Amino acid sequence: MNISILNESQCQSISDQAKKLVGEMTLVEKIGQMSQVFGHNAKIPNSMREDLRAGKIGSVLNEVDLPTLNEMQRICMEESRLKIPLLIGRDVIHGFKTIFPIPLGQAASWDPDMVEKGAHVAAKEAASKGVNWTFAPMIDISRDPRWGRIAESLGEDPFLCSQLGKAMVKGFQGNDLNHKNSIAACAKHFAGYGAAEAGKDYNTALIPENEMRNVYLRPFQAVADFGVATFMSAFCDLNGVPATGNQWLMKQILRQEWGFDGVVVSDWDSIVEMTVHGFTEDDAGAARAAIQAGIDMEMASQSYRYHLHELLQRGKIDIDQINTMVSRILELKFELGLFENPFVDESEAAIILHPDHLEAAKQAAIKSCVLLKNENNVLPLSLSKTKSIALIGPLADDDYEIMGTWVFDGEAQHSISCKTGLENLLEGEVEVKYEPGLETVRSTDESRFDAAIAIAQSSDAVVMVVGEESFMSGEAHSRAEIDLPGRQAQLINAVASAGKPLILVVMAGRPLTLENVLPATDAVLYAWHPGTMGGPAIADLLFGESSPSGKLPVTFPKKVGQIPIYYAHKNTGRPPQDGGCVNINDAPVRAPQTSLGMTSFHLDAGFRPQFPFGFGLSYGDFRYENIATSHSVINMGDEIQFSADVLNAGAHEAEEVVQLYIRDLVGSVTRPIKELKGFKRIKLKPKCRERVSFILSTDDLAFYDHQSKLVSEPGLYHAWIGGSSDASLWMEFRVNE
C-alpha cells in the first residue's frame, strides 16, 4: 500500500512542473536547492537573507520560530528570482511539544494505531510552527543495547519494525502531504547503522549482503513501498564503503531495485565525513562520491556549494545527475503544497499541548510500559488496603528526564513526574512519602540511604523510580556497561532490607542489565522514558486503573557479555539445551574439557536472556490452548490460517499482544529459529477466551537466498502462537512445490 493519494496524472503534472522549473534555473540555483543550512535561533543574518534572495538555500534546519520562518519564506517567494519555497526540517522524533514515549518505548506497545496517532500529533504541532519535514522514523534494526540510538529505534525485529515504521510514516504524512497537518517523513539511517561495532555510534558496520537483505533492509523496503517521502543516509561505513557514498545501497538497492524516486538527504556532515573515514581525499572528492551515489541534498556541510561547479567543469559529474536531484527536491515541495502556500497563519492558535494530545500521550505511555515481574501479584496496589507508600529514587520527582532523549521542543514545565502523577491520582487517600535517596542517578553519595529505608519501614509498600538520565541514550551516548548508573543498585538493595513490597519503576533509553537488583524486587515496571504524561500513566498502572500490556521490542541480556543477543538467531550445529549447559561455578575442579556441554553458550551466563523478545506480563493471566491450522500441507502460492484459543484465567480485565512465530526448518540459507510473522492486540475480561487467527501466504515465508533472490521454498515449517518469542504452543505444517 502506498499512502500517497496523488493519481498518475497529478504525479505527471508535478514531475512536468519540476522539470520545467529546473530548465529555468542557473547552476547556482540548482546547487542552492541541494543545500540545507541550519537556522540562527529566530534570527536571519544579512548573509542568509542574501543567500535566500539568490536562491542558494533549498532547506533550513532547526529553526522553529514561526515569524522567522514565515519571513524566510516571504523572502524566497517575493524577493528571489524563481520564487521557490523552503523545506523546513526538524527532528520531531517522538513529539514536538507534547512528548510521547521514546520510539523504543512506543515499539513496546506493539500498537501501530497508537504509533500512528503519536506521529500525527507530532506532525500537527510541528506544522503549526512552520515545520514541513521531519527526520523520522528511525528504522535501523537495533540488536545492541550499548548503542545509544537504540532509544530512537523500533527494536530488533524486521517485521515489527516494518509495521510500526509504516504507521509512523502514515502519522506524519497523513493521506495527503498537501494537508496543513501533514509533514514529510524521512526513513533513516540507510542502512546498517544499528549494527555499528561494539555499539559505538558512528562506528563501522560489517554485515554480509544476505543478512542485510533478510534483516536490516526489510523495514526500509517496507516504508519505501508504503510511500515515505524521503530517506537519509547513515553516518557509518558499511563493509568499508560509507553509506553516504555507497552506490550499492543508494543506486542499486534504493533506486533500481525498489524504484524509490523521492529525496535522499545526507545525515549531518556525513558527506564531508567521508574524507575523515578515509574514503575520499578531500571535500571535493566527498561531494563527487555523494553525487555519484545519489544524495540529493546535503545537510549542514557545504561541499556541494563549494565544489559541484568545479566538478562539473572537470567532467567529474554530469549535469543530468544534478537536474534529476533538483527535480526530486522540487517535486517534494510541490507535493507539500509549498508553492501554493508556504506560510503558516500566525493569527491561528497553535495546536500545542491540546488536551486530546495529552490524553493520546498518556495512553501511549500506558501501552508502552512493560511489566517484567510481579511476584505474588503485588501489583496492582489496592486503594482500600494501601494507606501509605514510600516513593524513592532519583527519578521519582523529575519532570525533565521523563521526556527522554532527542527532545528539542518539549519543556519540563509541561511534563508530569511520577510523584505528581501519584499525588493527583490518590488525592490524599494514600499518603505519599517521598525521599530521593540519591541526588541523581549517577550519585555515589549514600548519605540519604537511611532516610529512604526509614520511610520504607513506615509505609505499606515501596515504589522506587530509577534508571538513566535522558542524555545517557541517543546519538553519541553509547555505554560499555548498561547496568543502573551510580549507587542505584545499592539503594535498591538497601531499601529492600525494610521488608516491604518493593515495586521498581525503571526509566531508561535502552534495555538495562538488572540481574543484580531483580532478587530484591517484588515487581518491575519498565517505563522507558515515557514522555510528557509519564507520571499519570505510571500512577494508573500501579493502582490498577489500567493494566500493563507492553511487550519487549528487544531482548534484555543478563550480562553485557551476551551482546548481541536477539531471539531470531540461527540454530548452529550445536544448539544449547536446557539442562545441558553447566554454569562455571558448578563445574568440578580439574574438570575435563568435554564435561561442560559442547554446545553454544556462555559458561557464566548460559544461553537465555534475562527477558526474551515479546515478553510482558499483565494483571490478567493469559493462557494459550488448542493451536490449529487450516491445512497441514499447502502448495506454493496458497494461504494458510493459524488459530489458537487465548484465555484470561486471571481476576482482571487486561489486554494481550498475541504473537505468531514461524520457523523454516530447512533452507538454502540457514534460517532463524523463530521469526515474528504476525501480532494482534486483544482485550479479555476475567475467565473469558477468544479464538485468535492469523493468515499467511507462502509469500510471507520468503527470504533472500545466496543469489540475492527473494524466494519461498518448500519444506517443513513450525508455527507458534503465544505471548512472547518463548511461546511453547506449536504445530508443524508442510509447503509443497
Report DSSP letters for 561-614, one per residue: GG-S--SS-B--SS---TTS---GGGSPTT--TTSS-SSS-BTTTBS--SB-TT
Is residue 550 in some structural domain? no
pLDDT surpassing 80 at residue 379: yes
Q: Which of 185, 108, 94 is nearest to 407 (CA)?
A: 94
Interatomic CA distance for residues 113 and 286, integer angstroms: 41
pLDDT surpassing 60 at residue 183: yes
Residue 149 pLDDT level (bands cut at 50, 70, 90)? very high
Q: What is the mean pLDDT of residues 617-631?
A: 97
Are 427 and 527 members of one domain? yes
Q: What are phi and psi of 732, to 5 degrees?
A: -125, 155
Interatomic CA distance for residues 214 and 362, integer angstroms: 35
CB 462 within 8 A of CB 432: no
For 85-143, the pLDDT digits (tens) are 999 999 999 999 999 999 999 999 999 999 999 999 999 999 999 999 999 999 999 99
CB 123 within 8 A of CB 174: yes
Interatomic CA distance for residues 705 and 712, integer angstroms: 9
Q: How many helices and strands in the chain, by DSSP H and E? A: 19, 26
CB 525 within 8 A of CB 538: yes
Q: What is the mean pLDDT of residues 704-708?
A: 97
Interatomic CA distance for residues 532 and 1, integer angstroms: 33
Instruction: Give the model's pLDDT for residue 1.
Output: 41
Domain final position from 542, 572, 602: 542
C-alpha dist (Å) from residue 610 to 102, 510, 514, 517: 22, 14, 8, 12
**CATH number of 455's domain:** 3.40.50.1700
CB 59 within 8 A of CB 133: yes
Is residue 701 in some structural domain? yes
Interatomic CA distance for residues 713 and 210, integer angstroms: 16
Is residue 396 in some structural domain? yes
Domain span at residue 702 reads: 622-736
pLDDT surpassing 70 at residue 3: no
Instruction: Give the model's pLDDT for residue 23.
Output: 97
The whole-model pTM stands at: 0.97
Contacts of 641 (CB under 8 A, 6+ apart): 629, 630, 693, 694, 695
Interatomic CA distance for residues 671 and 694, integer angstroms: 21
Instruction: Give the model's pLDDT for residue 150.
Output: 98
Is residue 421 in some structural domain? yes
Write down the mean pLDDT value for the chain: 96
* CA 128-134-139 angle, 5° bins: 140
Interatomic CA distance for residues 187 and 220, integer angstroms: 7
Interatomic CA distance for residues 468 and 472, integer angstroms: 6
Interatomic CA distance for residues 133 and 88, integer angstroms: 6
CB count within 10 Å of CB 550 equals 32
pLDDT surpassing 60 at residue 255: yes
Interatomic CA distance for residues 657 and 616, integer angstroms: 9
Instruction: Give the model's pLDDT for residue 319.
Output: 98
Is residue 723 in some structural domain? yes
3-state DSSP: the chain helix, strand, coil percent, rounded to 5? 35, 20, 45
Cell 521469526 locates to: 675
**Residue 447 CB-density burial (10 A; 0-12 exposed, 13-18 middle, 19+ buried):** exposed
Interatomic CA distance for residues 98 and 534, integer angstroms: 11
Instruction: Name the β-bridge partners of 733.
Output: 717
Residue 6 pLDDT level (bands cut at 50, 70, 90)? low
CB 44 within 8 A of CB 70: no
For 518-544, the pLDDT digits (tens) are 999 999 999 999 999 999 999 999 999
Are 512 and 370 members of one domain? yes
For 403-425, the pLDDT digits (tens) are 999 999 999 999 999 999 999 99
Domain final position from 542, 564, 585: 542
Percent of the chain exceeding pLDDT 90 equals 94
Is residue 613 in some structural domain? no
C-alpha cell at 496: 529492600
Instruction: Give the model's pLDDT for residue 497.
Output: 97
Is residue 532 in some structural domain? yes
Instruction: Give the model's pLDDT for residue 2.
Output: 47
Are 535 and 632 members of one domain? no
Domain final position from 508, 523, 542: 542
CB 181 within 8 A of CB 455: no
Are 537 and 628 members of one domain? no
Residue 218 pLDDT level (bands cut at 50, 70, 90)? very high
Alpha-carbon Rg of the chain, whole angstroms?
Answer: 27
Q: Which of 74, 122, 603 is nearest to 346 (CA)?
A: 74
Instruction: Give the model's pLDDT for residue 269.
Output: 98
Sheet bearing 263-265, strands edge to edge:
186-190, 230-233, 263-265
Q: Annotated active-site positions, please? A: 267
Q: What letter does residue 199 receive in the DSSP assignment?
A: G
Q: What is the mean pLDDT of residues 427-432?
A: 97
Are 509 and 629 members of one domain? no
pLDDT surpassing 90 at residue 317: yes
Contacts of 407 (CB under 8 A, 6+ apart): 93, 94, 95, 99, 470
Instruction: Give the model's pLDDT for residue 351.
Output: 86
Q: What is the Cα 308 distance to its own chain's centre?
A: 35
**CATH number of 626's domain:** 2.60.40.10
Q: Is residue 106 classed as helix, strand or coil in its secondary structure?
A: helix
C-alpha dist (Å) from residue 391 to 214, 366, 377, 422: 46, 19, 19, 9
Instruction: Name the β-bridge partners of 683.
Output: 655
Are 538 and 659 members of one domain? no
Q: What is the mean pLDDT of residues 371-388?
A: 97
In the chain, the number of structural domains is 2
Q: What is the 3-state secondary structure (H, E, C) of 364-421?
A: HHHHHCEEEEEHHHCCCCCCCCCCEEEEECCCCCCCCHHHCCCCCCCCHHHCCCHHHH
CB 509 within 8 A of CB 470: yes
Q: What is the mean pLDDT of residues 711-719?
A: 98
Are 637 and 532 members of one domain? no
Is residue 157 in some structural domain? no
